């Protein structure tokens, strides 16, 4: 089985959850949880993380990714030559869901220090490219690093590297589709 295919299968639950999360944000469901994690606290006149990093996103990713991972459990042994169980899939879902959310925080923190408002992108091509790259790979970086550091996944570093790269490409692709569907303001 190809490491690339294994990476895709492992990314499927967190990707599905992230897409559903964007629809929830667009439709403003569970609005009582849409409170900024930073409590609207500021550093040098800008929010620490911004308005779009909310408890709703973290809680949703943390609860739903493990559930989707368990639902996908039958596919893992069928397509992946890795040891798994429903409990391992649940734990994997927690790690990827939490890592997905936490991976966005450093990027958001840096963008706020650069006075880039939440949900916005810079006008210049150079800085816009940097932001697009960071926005596209921050979540997959967080998810893959958390899984790697946990020691829970014993599938090889190649799979983790592929998951990071493929995760970023999927992020860009899904954002473009969501933008085309008017779910997201920008495709980046």
pLDDT digits (tens, 9 = 90+) for 10-57: 889 999 999 999 889 989 999 999 999 999 999 989 999 999 999 999
Residue 36's beta-bridge partner residues? 54
Start-end of H helices in the chain: 3-26, 55-71, 75-79, 86-113, 125-150, 157-180
User: Taking residues 62-73, what's their average pLDDT?
Assistant: 93
Is 114 a member of any domain? Answer: yes
Is 137 a member of any domain? Answer: yes
The whole domain housing 120 covers 3-180
The answer to whether the CB of 30 falls within 8 A of the CB of 24 is yes
Is 84 a member of any domain? Answer: yes
Please indicate, yes or no, whether the overall pTM of this predicted structure exceeds 0.85. Answer: yes
161/81: higher pLDDT: 161
Number of domain units in the chain: 1
Is 51 a member of any domain? Answer: yes
Is 162 a member of any domain? Answer: yes
Is 186 a member of any domain? Answer: no
Is 185 a member of any domain? Answer: no
User: HSE-up of 110 (CA within 13 Å, CB side)?
Assistant: 12
Q: How many CB atoms lie within 10 A of CB 185?
A: 12
């Amino acid at each position: 089985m190809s490491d690339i295919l294994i990476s895709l299968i492992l990314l499927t639950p967190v990707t599905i959850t992230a897409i559903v999360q964007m629809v929830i944000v667009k439709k403003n469901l569970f609005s009582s949880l849409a409170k900024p994690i930073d409590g609207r606290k500021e550093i040098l006149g800008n929010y620490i993380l911004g308005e779009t990093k909310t408890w709703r996103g973290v809680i949703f990713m943390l609860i739903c990714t493990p559930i989707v991972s368990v639902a996908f459990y039958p596919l893992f042994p069928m397509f992946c030559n890795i040891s798994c169980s429903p409990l391992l899939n649940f734990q994997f879902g927690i790690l990827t869901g939490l890592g997905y959310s936490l991976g966005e925080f450093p990027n958001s923190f840096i963008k706020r220090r650069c006075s880039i408002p939440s949900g916005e992108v810079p006008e210049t091509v150079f800085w816009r490219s940097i932001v697009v790259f960071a926005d596209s790979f921050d979540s997959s970086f967080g998810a893959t690093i958390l899984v790697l550091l946990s020691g829970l996944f014993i599938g090889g570093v190649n799979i983790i590297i592929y998951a990071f790269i493929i995760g970023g490409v999927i992020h860009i692709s899904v954002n473009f589709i969501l933008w085309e569907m008017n779910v997201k303001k920008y495709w980046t």
